[in-house]
Homo-oligomer: A and B are copies of this chain.
């Protein structure tokens, strides 16, 4: 650790005065009611403290804010749409020194759309929806698709390497970023807004800012890849015999439809039950109740009829071989929307029910069926009435494995009894199967200390080596991602 540049801690007044001079009084919030939405996380689980919220309108202003905070030892927490499920975008509750939240929402300009190079250049505060619309207006697709797309921002998508329902075909956010502009912890600007598919001139510095959750720099702009707009899609729901049958059906789909397989989402029986309970006007697509279902989407630039025929071929092969128990192909856009709505409402239905234990794990596809079986058995051994809400992006090996309280048991009670043991069991089984304990949701504060259990000492040490190299004072989004150093020489005193 290097010695901070600042001699003594600055006061909140100093901070407000300095930052107001940079961004103007309208863009420097200081009153408690104004601060509240910026210091409270999406799920209301984490409430932090901040001296001020600044809303810069240019990279230059971000740079000036960072330079001042760096010189005065002030913590900065970067924030986009504040949709983190991990408490990654709000300040710590009990910080030793005052923090500033730097929200990028005013930097919301689409800077360029290039339909020859197939790139989109935009500021970090553009929402994912707005980015998708800009692409669509130009006759192109920006393929990232996640639940919070109306409010999450591109800068946050990059900083958290967002995933979602189209990763199977198009990859994660990391795969969709060609160039990044970022402000470093000391205020310097890394200008990497290049739209190149090939560039081997030294270290690929943009990778530092993708997925590091704002702990190494603040993404202020980016160049994203655009894709051809699919002209056709075909969607089906299929009831399958088991998780293993789902994996085998995915193999069939990839063999038959190749890269047209765009989404392959698992839905457990209890997840469907839960959603149908809330969506009063939607009926089950199946006559019988099934334990496991998958939503399959194919897209391509070819004809819709051809695509439907391909998907039917996959489903019929599955019915013949016993992998598929029942299946229904969307006969219209409205059908397809209903199928997707069932899938996408699972998350909200859990929130409204309360008392779910969210494990966002990934496992190699060759081991995912066994993992689901084992983890389910482990959970039910602890509490047999638990509702097994298991769903998500099976095509990527990623399932949201979210045990939910029994209907007659209060959420608080269930979580108090089972949050710890169930999380630990599920994560440990995923880890033992060569998997990840956070496939797409990131680390933030919620999973930070868990990394100590599941990362090697070498991995943790490397993370700290990088963090210390770029942010030696530890002023950028402290308390996130990195667990306390393994061999920290500091003795904690209460």
Contact = CB atoms under 8 A, between A and B. Distances in A.
A108 interface: no
Contact of A434 (B195, B436, B438, B439): B195
A450 to B, nearest CB: 8
A393 to B, nearest CB: 7
B211 A198 contact: no
B443 A196 contact: no
Interface in A170-202: 171-172, 174-175, 184, 188-192, 194-202
A455 interface: yes
A483 B199 CA distance: 17
A64 to B, nearest CB: 16
A190 B194 CA distance: 30
Given A254-B228, A258-B301, A364-B119, A396 B454 contact: no
Interface string A345-385: 00000000000000000111111000000000000000000
B167 A364 contact: no
A155 interface: no
A456 interface: yes
Contacts of A160: 200
Interface stretch (A4-12, A66-74, A97-105, A458-466): A458-466
A212 interface: yes
B469 A465 contact: yes
A116 B194 CA distance: 36
A425 interface: no
Contact of A398 (B163, B190, B197, B256): B197
Interface in A197-251: 197-205, 207-208, 210-212, 228, 247, 251
A174 to B, nearest CB: 7
A300 interface: yes
A398 to B, nearest CB: 5
A144 interface: no
A201 B469 contact: no
B434 A189 contact: no
A56 interface: no
Contact of A202 (B196, B198, B463): B463
A138 B2 CA distance: 53
A172 B469 CA distance: 28
A435 interface: yes
A184 B466 CA distance: 14
Interface in A443-494: 443, 447, 451, 454-456, 458-459, 461-463, 465-466, 468-470, 481-482
Contact of A200 (B189, B197, B257, B440): B440
B203 A463 contact: yes
A470 B465 contact: yes
A424 interface: no
A438 to B, nearest CB: 5
Nearest to A299: B258
A437 interface: yes
Given A204-B161, A204-B211, A198 B255 contact: no
A247 B116 contact: yes
Given A254-B228, A364-B119, A366-B116, A436 B161 contact: no
A442 interface: yes
A365 to B, nearest CB: 4
B458 A184 contact: yes
Contacts of A469: 465-466, 468-469
A228 B255 contact: yes
A259 interface: yes
Nearest to A114: B366
Given A190-B462, A251-B116, A365-B116, A393 B198 contact: yes
18 contacts: A116-B251, A116-B366, A117-B366, A161-B200, A167-B198, A190-B462, A192-B459, A195-B434, A196-B397, A196-B436, A196-B439, A199-B439, A200-B438, A202-B443, A256-B301, A258-B300, A258-B301, A469-B469
